[in-house]
Structure 1
Amino acid sequence: EVIPSHNRLDYTFPHYNPNPEAMEMLHDMAATVRATGADFALGFDGDGDRCGVVDDEGEDIFADKVGVIMARDLSALYPNATFVADVKSTGLFASDPVLRQNGAKADYWKTGHSHMKR
């Protein structure tokens, strides 16, 4: 079941700036999770290339943690993989015990798609 929230297209963004890293958006998502008993919430920016995540208790899961969750699964499939992470990210990719156990390495690189795709 999907519980929609602010899902009508309106390019004036009447509720708040659609930035999944903005606390206002994350708090709104958390309130919806708590009010509805949802398993989690996903919130996207205006063009859909960034996603904010809130867990079943209404707690934020920031992007670096979401990345590590995905990297854990990928590192099991691709041992000794190198993951490229934004230089502004925390050190989770380099310090995560599951990634280390799977031989994964972290390469922290410049912010932005044009730099990452090198």
Structure 2
Amino acid sequence: MNIFVDLFWKEYNLIDGFKVAIEKFQGENTIPIMMIHKSKGLEYEAVYFVGLEDSAFWNFKNQPEADRSAFFVAISRAKRYMSFSYCEKRSSLVNYYNPSGDQKNDNINEFFDLLLQPGVATIVS
């Protein structure tokens, strides 16, 4: 309870008003950013899936059914619009195993195959 009071009081002091502090504390007029699993059971007008690449589903070869289910959860959150992005190179993922930072979609190619079917998605590069 003390953590709640401390966080709310900080918000109140930043805003200097209870109504706006409550709205900000509740996350009104914000854009939620979350992992797929956190979105389960929720719906949004638009969903933006950032980074549809093998590194997002790094364990796909070992658990394809679980990752297919997660992908279904992701695509079923959108009511009207969904956008996917893919990055060819990520400097944040440069490491011993991937010195170039190159990103691929070889392991999850079936997701791209699904999206590339006629009438499913519009591809913009």
Greater Rg by CA: 2
Q: Same fold (TM over 0.5)?
A: no
Q: Which bin holds the TM-score, normalised by the shorter protein?
A: under 0.3
Structure in which a larger fraction of residues adopt strand: 1
Instruction: Give the alignment's TM-score, normalised by structure 2.
Output: 0.25
TM-score scaled to structure 1, two decimals? Answer: 0.26
